[in-house]
Structure 1
């Protein structure tokens, strides 16, 4: 996909700061990092989002995310890490090539949670469960 910025990075047509790579994935530093070491993990093959990526390719990405998190832990010694993926504009996806963010965290950093939530009533959970189990 020649117009996809991540496909261009994977192919080497655009520069990147590669952290790790293998036959299936490429991990590179985010050019607009949320924190020091913020790394993106992308599959080499183009898939728009979680609904398009194959289970096998998603597995390759997950394994690389695990490797990157371990590498960043050793190199940067963060206090924690967020692993984030967004599918669709409503979820703030900006580049439409599946990717996972590996974001090292420090106590007191300026990053905030993606949401604030409260416990849902059991009846609401039961209704959602019924809808989901009806289609599985």
Structure 2
């Protein structure tokens, strides 16, 4: 099942995990390998537009996905960020969480990640991935979640 993400349609092949009110998908233009997004099913433009139930569900999904992203991408830490509104760098008007795996010595040290998050989609030196590249990553990640999906859907 595909999902609407602001003005973009995220195909089911790019979605690797779902919960009752949210879904996680691979990023078309990640700033580092493993940079994924988690969004609410309902198209809410700003964080305060989410219901308390949607906030809870969104962060439960972030919590569920975090250790897998850290393990799969050999990270020692994560940056978990929301750009809430255009002036915060939000480019898609749909609440979503960036989950970015981090390592000692990565190029995003000293909080450069926030600058990069605000500008990375506009930079030409970061290439847009093909649908095929995204599908391969989503399929690999999906395998970590399929076994226990029933207990998290409730």
Task: Return the TM-score normalized by structure 1.
Answer: 0.72
Q: Structure 1: how far apart are the matches of 2:108 and 2:99?
A: 14
- Unaligned 5+ residue runs, structure 2? 116-154
State whether residues 34 and 111 of structure 1, in contact with CA within 8 Å, keep that contact through their aligned partners in structure 2: no
In 1, Cα distance between the equivalents of 2:55 and 2:18?
15
Tell me, in whole angstroms, the C-alpha distance in 2 between the residues paired with 1:63 and 1:104: 18
Q: State the Cα deviation string for residues 65-106 of structure 1 (Å, max 9, x = none).
A: 011101112322202100000111110011000000000011
Work out whether 1:40 is the aligned partner of 2:37. yes
Is the contact made by 2:66 and 2:99 (CA closer than 8 Å) also made in structure 1? yes
Does 1:5 pair with 2:34?
A: no
Structure 1 distance, partners of 2:15, 2:75, is 20
Aligned to 2:53: 56
In structure 1, stretches of 5+ residues that fail to align are 116-136
Work out which structure has the larger RCO, using CA pairs closer than 8 Å and 6 or more positions apart in sequence: 2
- Verify: 1:102 aligned to 2:99, yes or no: yes
Structure 1 vs Structure 2 CA RMSD: 2.2
Deviation at 1:58, TM superposition (A): 0.9
Q: Could you say what secondary structure the match of 1:51 adopts? A: helix
The structure in which a higher percent of residues are helix is: 2
**Distance in 2 separating the partners of 1:22 and 1:52:** 19
| Residue 97 to residue 16, structure 1, CA distance change in 2 (3 Å) | farther
Among 53, 67, 77, the residue aligned to 1:80: 77
The TM-score, its normalising length taken from structure 2, stands at: 0.64
Bigger Rg, structure 1 or 2: 1
